[in-house]
A and B are shown apart, each in its own frame.
Chain A
Amino acid sequence: MSDEIISQGEVTPAPIPAAAGQLLSVKQGMWSAGTGDTSGFDGIVRSTWMPAGSQPPFGDWYDAAVARVAELVESPYDRVVFDRGELTLYVRAEKLVEVAQVLRDDAQLRFEYCISVSGVHYPNEAGAQLHSVIHLQSITHNRRLRVETSASEENPHIPSVVSVYPAADWHEREAWDMFGIVYDGHPHLTRILMPDDWVGHPQRKDYPLGGIAVEFKGAKVPPVEERRRYQ
């Protein structure tokens, strides 16, 4: 392993901004807020963070790939996270399509496959609550990579990568359906899993589980005295 890192020495490290991981949640006391916690634990405040931004060297092929993207696209990264053997490039929304194009076409990168696009909602991350996570696969080099982009709830716009990866079409529609991420440039961004007239985006964290009235077209609930009785 150490040999490999030394052999990567020729690679000029990419300028990656140092960054802390985003705050996931802050928990106070033993139970959730507002329950009249009398356990004596309410002085404890615990916060959870996603893994912080990493700095090279990451080892293996990762350094070269990170540097190559930075060479071809001007300051593409918010941060780069190398965690549990998986590389995540946090790319600024305005650079996403450019980065995707480079990742697909450059001979040293060649991430031909867009495996999946999934949304994640982080309500505590001010200004970047909605994340769009793209998983890429290079068949030529047998490598995997994750590209993450974020947008705020107020302005949930992220450029679509369908022009680069046609396979992202339905995946982006699903992320729109479930999280309300608007993919600019998508050919027909419509709901895909929920009914077309559904209101709201069900997989957001502030959307309740259950509690949605079941609707049947034209159905009426009769007054109590007219309902059928079982005798």
Chain B
Amino acid sequence: MSETTVKGEKVEASPADFYAAPGKEREYTSYDASGPGDFDDIAAAQAERSDETLVINMGPQHPSTHGVLRLMVECEGETVLSIRPGIGFLHTGIEKNMEYKTFTQGTAFVTRMDYVAPIFNEAAYVFSIERLLGIEDKIPQRAQEIRVLFMELCRIASHLVAMATGGLEIGALTVYMNGFREREVILDFFEATTGVRMNHEYFRPGGVSNDLPENAITQLHDLIAWLEEKLPEIPMFCDANPIFRGRMCDVAYMDLTACFALGMTGPVLRSTGYPWDLRKSQPYCGYETYDFDVITWDSSDAYGRYRVRMAEMFESLKIVKQAADRLEASIGQPVMVDDPALKWPSKLVVGPDGQGNSHEHIKHIMGESMESLIQHFKMVSSGFKVPAGQAYVPVESPKGEIGCHVVSDGGTHPYRVHMRDPGFAHLQATPLLCEGGMLADIVVAIGSLDPVLGGVDR
């Protein structure tokens, strides 16, 4: 049995080796935090013996891992020798479940994948179905404008979370407070339209589920004014802050070649100076008609990614303002494709007792038209059919390229749905970003990738 000393006292290593196979003799000293000393003592004892590297399990419940991410870190002192991410703790079988639901119900599932940017999951899924249906050109203009508005607001909200939690992890609590305060104002606007703060189920094949409420434009202008006033606070606090820069600059370096090899997209790719943005290069929803710039930075590190995200929020705000003007001009126009075989038969209205089906519609199907009642029943119970085939439509989400591979067998349910989540692809780069660096820089590196484990594990 091996021996070691802590503060002059002789400490016997724990007699049971938790990591050995049953009945096996102890082969090496194992240090665990359940023993007599604090972590300092363990580290000191280990350093004294200097026989082995220290293996640390970070997560799955570590607060700095953006959800339930497990990182198996092998350390020599504070230097990371190797790091292996383990995922799957939040796997909920969403893709499998969707095969048993109609295409419309699918939006309720995909929105729960990456819950920080739910609108983008819905967008990728809905655009793929629209391509399969061949109705990409028939989406009403107002629906496209609402989609752009929601995607850009959601991008700001997601970037705010990325910065807020990223700041929290390195001790910048003000950034955390500000970020979440601004995000909550955006979520209030979402709630006024969709009924919920997150998990909206708002984008539907053919358009959006309901039009903006009457006071939406006023509320939107208030929101824009709020963001214009408050968003600059974050860069004023962070950009030149020596502690912030000291933690972020030259950490998690990843150049363009590595980005290409590992399939990195979004702010990670743009922080290397490559201006690749699907909104510009493969526009959808009429993005080519909006005036905005693709933001790049040249440092390829965590600080560059922060700067790209920060500047992107102001670009998104530019788009939001343009969308607000267009929405003001298009009040009263349809928000769902004009095809009774596809569109949801009823529409939601806000009544004195909360949100529900419109009374006009109920009166129509229950009192006036048997055919409408049948149509309503068929659309709600079995849904519409989608011609057989497969489609993949990419969308520029705040984290990178999100895309949905949808296969249809000609029925009312998807045959197979696969969501390509940017976080899943990005986490592969963790060893490249962290190995050889400091233990404390792991959280900065992961934070700069901005993965959301709900989307990674699906």
Contact = CB atoms under 8 A, between A and B. Distances in A.
Interface in A43-83: 48-51, 83
A113 B416 CA distance: 23
A9 B174 CA distance: 63
A130 to B, nearest CB: 12
A128 interface: no
A110 B87 CA distance: 31
Interface in A162-191: 165-167, 169-171, 174, 178, 191
Nearest to B261: A166
Contact of A146 (B97, B265, B392, B416): B392
B21 to A, nearest CB: 15
A197 interface: no
A120 to B, nearest CB: 5
Contacts of A152: none
A84 B428 contact: no
A50 B97 contact: no
B428 A167 contact: yes
B121 to A, nearest CB: 15
Contacts of A137: 394, 401
B268 to A, nearest CB: 13
Given A116-B418, A146-B392, A167-B263, A135 B281 contact: no
B100 to A, nearest CB: 6
Given A115-B420, A194-B88, A209-B100, A48 B388 contact: yes
Interface residues of A, number: 44
Nearest to B425: A167
A116 B96 CA distance: 18
A209 B97 contact: yes
A16 interface: no
Interface stretch (B112-120, B176-184, B307-315, B407-415): B407-415
Nearest to B421: A116
Interface string A15-49: 00000010011000000000000000000000011
Contacts of B294: none
A193 interface: yes
A135 B89 CA distance: 26
Contacts of B392: 86, 116, 135, 144, 146
Nearest to B281: A142
A166 B134 CA distance: 34
Contacts of A83: 389-390
B188 interface: no
B19 interface: no
Interface of B: 87-88, 91, 93, 95-97, 99-100, 131-132, 134, 260-263, 265, 276, 281-282, 388-392, 394, 401, 403, 405, 407, 409-411, 415-416, 418, 420, 424-425, 427-428, 457-458
Given A115-B403, A118-B405, A209-B100, 16 more contacts: A83-B389, A86-B391, A113-B260, A114-B263, A116-B418, A121-B416, A133-B390, A135-B420, A139-B276, A167-B262, A169-B428, A192-B88, A193-B88, A193-B458, A202-B96, A209-B97
Interface of A: 21, 24-25, 48-51, 83-86, 88, 112-116, 118-121, 133, 135, 137, 139, 142, 144, 146, 165-167, 169-171, 174, 178, 191-195, 202-203, 209
